Amino acid sequence: MKMFLLRSSALALVASMAGGAFADEEVTAWRLFVSDHGQAVVTVLDAVNGNVIDTFDIDGPASLYRSDSGETVFAVQGSAGAVTAISTGIAFDDHGDHADIDVSQPGLTGLVVTGERPSHFVENRGQYAAFFDGEGLARVFTETDALAGASELREVDSGAPHHGAVIPFDTSDIVSIPHPEDPSNAPVGVRILDRDGNQIGDDYECVGMHGEAVSGNLVAIGGCADGILIVRSSGGEPVIEPLTFTDRLPQGRVSTLIGGRGLQYFLGNFDASTVSIIEADAEEPFRLVELPTRRVHFAVDNVRARFAYVFTEDGQLHQLDIISGDIAQSVRVTGPYSMDGHWSDPRPRVAVAGDSVFVTDPLEGKLHVIDAASFEVTGEIEIEGVPFNIVSVGGTGIVHGDHDHDHDHDHDHDHDHDHDHDHDHDDHDHHDDHHDDDDHDHDH
């Protein structure tokens, strides 16, 4: 076990200790998982000191998705036809007033889900659905199975190979509807299937469907010509309704989505140089934010819930204030990365780990480190090859000292409740922004 003991203190919340016991310790650990644009490798870095923890050989270049819990990273290798599960080695157990952290070595779990052209990867309600475009079906499994290295895969079939997605619910699934005449075109909507593959209710039209994200108990499905679909959960089952663009909005399309954490919202594209902050229940659900140049990538900040980050082709990283809808700060991080050229050319990607924002610089072989508060570039990490996709996991938790633990039940009711109940253990780029990581938020 490798631990990163950055801070330790005798915290007020911890135990009444037996004689000779040690104090519980507050431990912070953040890890970065970085894939290469051309090589079949995932590098794991300690985000606190920049050291390489491990390197994993996989089957092909990968897009990366982290689980909601942060215990697993999935490497989706479209060209190699494989989805590989990697244990991050950081696990939290939330106890309401604090979370325990367990830090160990990362490793391949042994689970490799294979199929033809895996693309969209969605986590919802404790299940993961890897959609294989070449087969038109998703293979669904749980994190428990992924970490155990084996899984009985549940298959959800859309009916035809296409660039689609499946969103799992408790006893049913939302499935993209292939274009009826030419499945190589974008899907035309979604439908709900029960576990036997029988349709529940009507089709939901969404011509051009592409992109999905989760924020709390809401799911957003993008790409529709006239807006997006919002999916609410009722008793664990989906209730789908359209969220239509209002008349005052210019022409646009939201086909790439990520979900906020800590605040319930979605961040989407709108046009090449405009992003949209989407609140399903707000009077004006789509707020547009213009960027100085075209967008390359975006990510939400789950540590500082009011902020998200947008990287633009002029090499700038922008801090987006979700509440005011303004760009709060900008900093130049890399040289220009034009959005002209192929959609899958190597371009920077963004992840947040603790107090830092990390930006890959594929052409320079670097990660840039930006302080999230001062918003200044504070460091860089050189990486061999072409670092491309990046996700982070980690946070702060308690490691219990070696004692016969018994929590103190004699708390004063006046105790301070200002502890961070949610803890900062979830950077949560929401793993279903895979399309964005692939940067294929283009018209198919």
Q: Annotate each residue in 355-384 with x if it binds other proteins (CB under 8 A) or - if it does not, as one string.
A: --------------x-x-xxxxxxxxxxxx
* Minimal distance, residue 379 CB to other proteins, in Å: 4
Report the C-alpha gap between 126 and 20 in whole angstroms.
Answer: 41
Q: Which two tokens stand for residue 424?
A: 């900062």
Binder of other proteins out of 235, 247, 250, 342 (CB under 8 A): 235
Per CB under 8 A, contacts with other proteins among 154-193 are none
421 touches other proteins (CB under 8 A) = yes
Q: Toward other proteins, which CB reaches closer, 337 or 375?
A: 375
Site track 45-64 with other proteins (rule: CB under 8 A), x = hit: ----xxxx------------
User: For 282, what's the count of Cα atoms within 13 Å in the CB-facing half-sphere?
Assistant: 13
Q: CB neighbours of 282 closer than 8 A, spacing ≥ 6?
A: none
User: What is the Cα–Cα distance from 176 to 44, expressed in whole angstroms?
Assistant: 34
Among 42, 76, 299, 322, which residue sits at the site for other proteins (rule: CB under 8 A)? 322
Among 2, 332, 407, 442, binds other proteins (CB under 8 A): 407
| Tokens matching residue 266 | 């979605």
Tell me how far, at minimum, the Cβ of 277 lies from other proteins, in Å: 7
Selected from 39, 114, 142, 264, the binder of other proteins by CB under 8 A is 264
437 φ, ψ (degrees, to nearest 5): -60, -35
> Site mask, other proteins, residues 6-45, x = CB under 8 A?
---------x------------------------------
The nearest distance, CB 423 to other proteins, in angstroms, is 10
Of the candidates 226, 406, 442, 443, which one interacts with other proteins according to CB under 8 A? Answer: 406
Among 236, 292, 335, 336, binds other proteins (CB under 8 A): 236
Quote the least distance from Cβ 79 to other proteins, whole Å. Answer: 26
Whole-number Å distance between alpha carbons of 60 and 114: 12
Q: Is 413 in the site for other proteins (CB under 8 A)?
A: yes
CB of 438 to other proteins, least distance (A): 26
| Per-residue binder mask for other proteins (CB under 8 A), 92-121, x = binder | -x-xxxx-x---------------------
**Shortest Å distance, C-beta 310 to other proteins:** 16
Tokens coding 255: 């086909």
| Contact set for other proteins, span 266-285 (CB under 8 A) | 277, 279, 281-282
State residue 146 phi and psi, 5-degree precision. -60, -45
Query: Applying CB under 8 A, does 328 fall inside the site for other proteins?
Result: yes
Residue 288 CB, nearest distance to other proteins (Å)? 14
Q: Does 246 bind other proteins (CB under 8 A)?
A: no
Per-residue interface string for the shown chain with other proteins, residues 329-358, x marking contact by CB under 8 A: x-----------------------------
Would you call 219 exposed, middle or buried from its count of C-beta atoms within 10 A (0-12, 13-18, 19+)? buried
Note whether 419 binds other proteins by CB under 8 A.
Answer: yes
Chain mean position to CA 369: 19
By CB under 8 A, residue 412 contacts other proteins? no
Q: Which stretch binds other proteins (CB under 8 A): 140-148, 158-166, 239-247, 411-419?
A: 411-419
- Count of residues that bind other proteins according to CB under 8 A: 67
Distance CA 37, CA 92 (A): 31
Alpha carbon distance 258, 236 (integer Å): 21
**Binding residue for other proteins, selected from 157, 203, 420, 443, defined by CB under 8 A:** 420
User: Using CB under 8 A as the criterion, which residues of the chain lie in contact with other proteins when the complex forms?
Assistant: 15, 49-52, 93, 95-98, 100, 215-218, 235-236, 262-265, 277, 279, 281-282, 304-306, 319, 321-324, 328-329, 369, 371, 373-384, 400, 402-409, 411, 413-414, 417-422
